[in-house]
Copies of this chain bind each other. A is one copy, B any other.
Amino acid sequence: MNGQKTTMVVFSGDLDKALAAFIIATGSAAMGNQVSMFFTFWGLNIMRKDQVVNVKKSWMDKTFGWLLPRGPEKLGLSKLHFAGLGPMMMRRVMQKKNVATLNELIQITLELDIKLIACTMSMEVLGIQKEELIDGMEFAGVATYISEANDGNINLFI
């Protein structure tokens, strides 16, 4: 531990940006930095379980839940999406070139004691409930983010 700290707001739910976020996060932790990732808005989609979780929801929350991708395997690309062809190509090429998949990177963050924090206000807005996110996450609001980032040196918005 060198005492340096990395924080990031993961706002985007695009596969390519999520990969960048998790590569920087795991790279930071491997270099001895403390790392906290805050998932807000579309970024929450990255952390959704891929199966449907049985929770009670309003009509609007259900609609959002149905429109938004569930987990790493369902995310699209910010560019070259081509109706899903782009992400498929990207996933294939990364596999062929032995680059870690997003699912593998998420596993690594859990092993490296990276804090994965879901923004409770975004969960409320998008109607996402705790049970729908992967195990091992924490839940907090903007105040927690600010106090962590005030101690951080690398603070990114992705």
- On whether the beta carbons of B9 and A24 are closer than 8 Å, the reply is yes
**Complex CA–CA separation, A17 to B158 (angstroms):** 11
Name the residue on B nearest A69 (C-beta).
Answer: B79
Cβ of A56 under 8 Å from chain B: no
Chain B residues with Cβ under 8 A from A92's Cβ? Answer: 60
Copies of this protein in the assembly total 3
A residues with CB within 8 A of B: 2, 4, 6, 8-9, 11, 13, 16-17, 20, 23-24, 27-28, 30-31, 33, 40-42, 60, 63-64, 67-68, 78-80, 89-90, 92-94, 96-97, 99, 121, 124-125, 127, 142-143, 145-147, 149-150, 152-158
Task: List 26 A-B residue pairs with CB atoms under 8 Å apart, sorted by A's residue number.
Answer: A9-B20, A9-B24, A9-B156, A11-B16, A13-B79, A24-B142, A24-B146, A27-B146, A30-B143, A31-B143, A31-B147, A31-B150, A33-B146, A60-B89, A60-B96, A67-B80, A90-B125, A93-B127, A99-B121, A99-B125, A146-B154, A150-B153, A152-B153, A156-B157, A157-B157, A157-B158
